[in-house]
Amino acid sequence: MPASRAILLVERAGEAVKPRAIPSRLLANTVAVGILLSIGKLAGGAKTIAIARHFGTSDAMDAFLIALLPTSFVADLMAGSLTACLTPMLVRAQGAEGMEGARRLAGAALSASLAMTLAGAGGLALGARGLVRLAGSSFPEAKLRLASGLLFMMLWWLPLSACIAAWRAVLNANQRFALAAIAPIASPLACIAALYAGADRWGVAVLCAGTGGGVAMECLALGLAVRRLGYPLAPRWGAKGELRELWGQFFPLAASTAISSGCAFIDQSVAGRLGSSQVSALAYGNRLSAVLLQVAAAPIGVTIAPKLAQLAASEDWRRLRRTVLGCCGAAIGLAAPLAMGLIGGSGAIVRAAFERGAFGAEAAGLVAHIQRFSLLQLPFAFPLAIATRLASALSANILLARVGLAALALDAALDLAFSHWMGAAGIALASAVVQLLSLALLAALLQRRAPELFGRPQLKKER
């Protein structure tokens, strides 16, 4: 057999094997990221238990949560938006222009994210008191002053979050998922250390110091890893060509992230109107579902994003559809029984995790009641994470902004209605309903945007 013929047969055999190998690699990466995120979330759970032991559902804890909301909003805008849209763009840049194009894009993205977080920090500094009064409208004056002071203490670490967002996208695009997944463990560990070192002396302010120290350590670890990959750590100012496409995808996704954070702001604001300790009770009640989303839904979104970007760029609609539907089916099949089991054991979970020190039996009963309704969102949140990454892979982030606007309006209406009926537990129930309807709306919009993905003839696409 001629050598050229043998080489051709080997190449064809490799192509035949690749479609079958993709799901197994995707599953392996997802499991690995899930395990690493689980370790981080276990540390986060230990942090929450330590916080509950020191501060319970006190006014000081309410003030910290209200102060954390605006700063985490700006940080999430970077981590949730820039990383999600930059990862598929880096994958495409590597395929079209090689590593130099990817490096140029990463530098431009870093410069843009730094500029935005610095502007966001300045805006928060100017409007801090107004934001705190808006979110904690029922707080007494002393509690408002404490929340304002805590907010100012947290502003300095916002520029670091810009670096983290850009560098995490670089690692994910190069399928270096492990460090990006485990690095956030620095913040809960630093907070735990700060609590036991100075909570009695400095009060709730030690949480600000611990959070900031953890963010700095995470930034350092990611920066070193990115440098080893050959990417520059310095921003590239003036790279207009790279920024043009980035802005086109970033702003719709940022709007969606901002709207999602707006839902959290509405939730806490409505809880703040229900009386003392309701904000912290809602935060504790949502904690378990938030952890599960991070250790299960987040790994799926992280590992599936580069693969969806590759399949969408090659217009391999059949494999793209099979990958999405398979992941969604598996996610729902696992999430639904898990949610039901945890709802049944919610009271025991809360008592075992929190009921000690300043966290009494009455608070445990309230938090368990909230947690049961919060867990209802799990079966819908997993496929929603996959659909969100699919929209980014199709360069259709504008759809996420539309879904977010609808979700924000619905969340506000349901929070007010359900909280009047059920108290803080009604806010958790509203979140579950919003997740379900958001998933349905996004699926309908994606079907209209990419009918070929659903096995239908190509129609005129939305712009």
What is the rounded average pLDDT for all residues in the chain?
80
pLDDT at 430: 92
pLDDT at 79: 64
pLDDT at 375: 92
pLDDT band at 97; cut points 50, 70, 90: confident
pLDDT at 238: 58
Read off the pLDDT of each residue in 300-322 and give the average, rounded to a whole number.
Answer: 80
pLDDT band at 18; cut points 50, 70, 90: very low
Burial grade of 399 (CB within 10 A; 0-12, 13-18, 19 or more): buried
Quick check: 461 pLDDT over 50?
no
* pLDDT tens-digit map of 71-83: 887 787 766 678 8
Quick check: 357 pLDDT over 90?
no
Read off the pLDDT of each residue in 164-184 and give the average, rounded to a whole number.
Answer: 87
* pLDDT tens-digit map of 340-356: 999 999 889 888 888 77
Read off the pLDDT of each residue in 233-252 and give the average, rounded to a whole number.
Answer: 71
Given a contact cutoff of 8 angstroms between Cβ atoms, the answer to whether 105 and 90 are in contact is yes
Quick check: 312 pLDDT over 90?
no
pLDDT band at 437; cut points 50, 70, 90: very high
Read off the pLDDT of each residue in 193-202 and give the average, rounded to a whole number.
Answer: 85
Cβ partners under 8 Å of residue 403, min gap 6 = 256, 438, 441, 442, 445
Which pair of structure tokens corresponds to residue 220?
């350092």
Read off the pLDDT of each residue in 54-72 and give the average, rounded to a whole number.
Answer: 80
Read off the pLDDT of each residue in 78-97 and give the average, rounded to a whole number.
Answer: 78
pLDDT at 374: 92
Read off the pLDDT of each residue in 384-392 and give the average, rounded to a whole number.
Answer: 85
**Distance in angstroms between the alpha carbons of the first and the last residue of the chain:** 52
| Whole-number Cα distances in Å, 247 to 82, 105, 257 | 10, 12, 15
Identify the helix (H) or strand (E) that includes residue 329.
helix 317-344
pLDDT band at 23; cut points 50, 70, 90: low
Range in 37-51, 294-308, 392-406 the model is least confident about: 294-308
**Residue the block writes with tokens 């600000």:** 208
pLDDT at 226: 92
pLDDT at 459: 44
DSSP 295: I
Given a contact cutoff of 8 angstroms between Cβ atoms, the answer to whether 221 and 193 are in contact is no
pLDDT band at 418; cut points 50, 70, 90: very high
Instruction: Find the angle CA(84)-CA(86)-CA(92) to the nearest 5 degrees.
Output: 120
Sign of the CA dihedral 413, 254, 35, 335?
Answer: positive
Read off the pLDDT of each residue in 235-254 and give the average, rounded to a whole number.
Answer: 70
pLDDT at 26: 67
Alpha-carbon distance 221 to 87, whole Å? 19
Given a contact cutoff of 8 angstroms between Cβ atoms, the answer to whether 229 and 168 are in contact is no
pTM above 0.85, yes or no: no
CA trace torsion 292, 296, 302, 307 (10° rounding): -160
Share of the chain above pLDDT 90, in %: 11
Given a contact cutoff of 8 angstroms between Cβ atoms, the answer to whether 309 and 393 are in contact is yes
Read off the pLDDT of each residue in 316-335 and give the average, rounded to a whole number.
Answer: 84
Quick check: 268 pLDDT over 90?
no
